[in-house]
Amino acid sequence: MRLDPELPVWSSKQRVLVTLSQSLSDVLNYAGVQRPSRKVLDEERLLKEYPLPPITPIPYLEFRYKRRVYTQSYVDDKQLAKLHTKANLKRFMEHVHQKNVEKVSKWLEKGLDPNFHDSDTGGEEPSVPDAGRAAEESGDLIKACRYGNVQHLEHLLFYGADMSSQNASGNTALHLCALYNSCARVLLFRGANKDIKNYNNQTAFQ
């Protein structure tokens, strides 16, 4: 199979998937891997951005399943209560607004709930650009989808963000994906419900 280097890695992955004789489960966690470094290719980048080392007469990529190891740690309710203080939640929201993926990830790893609502802004979730727009753009996932922030979106999904959460207009993150033409494939492969209707009785693809 010959792959077009001018297309995103995602397109190459799709070509591989459709040529397989049997369907795979959890296809989102399959990825192109560059040898010999074993580097996983970023699916949003162009294939040509990854120069293939001439280790063989014809350079090649491996298509592998990315395994995740889940560990169950002891949950300390008191520690979680201390984590979810007003000051910490405000600090977390600031990191989200600044698109600081590293700091957002650290807070999520500590156990902070990505679905919390800020009572000071009338129920705003962590990623609203400003309180005045909370009615239309509430939610971490919604902001990540609007701005095409795939890495941010993947972190939120990994730590349990709710894909079915609706804002004041009844829109889900998938509705925003359809509007801004970004991130929809990530949500769909993660199992987002494409049949949820907003308060105008529209699904994400109507």
User: What are the extents of the domains in the chain?
Assistant: 9-65, 77-189
Domain 77-189 is of which CATH architecture? Answer: Alpha Horseshoe (1.25)
pLDDT tens per residue across span 47-86: 788 776 665 566 677 777 766 544 445 556 777 778 888 8
Query: What pLDDT was estimated at residue 85?
Result: 85
Residues 175/204, Cβ–Cβ less than 8 Å:
yes
Q: Is the pLDDT of residue 137 over 70?
A: no
**pLDDT level of residue 136 (50, 70, 90 thresholds):** very low
Q: Is the dihedral of CA 22, 26, 32, 33 positive or negative?
A: negative
**pLDDT level of residue 123 (50, 70, 90 thresholds):** very low
Of the candidates 152, 129, 202, the residue with the CA atom closest to the CA atom of residue 172? 202
Q: What is the mean pLDDT of residues 113-123?
A: 59
The span from the CA of 49 to the CA of 145, in Å, is 24
Within a 13 Å sphere around the CA of 34, how many CA atoms are in the beta-carbon half?
15
Query: What pLDDT was estimated at residue 161?
Result: 78
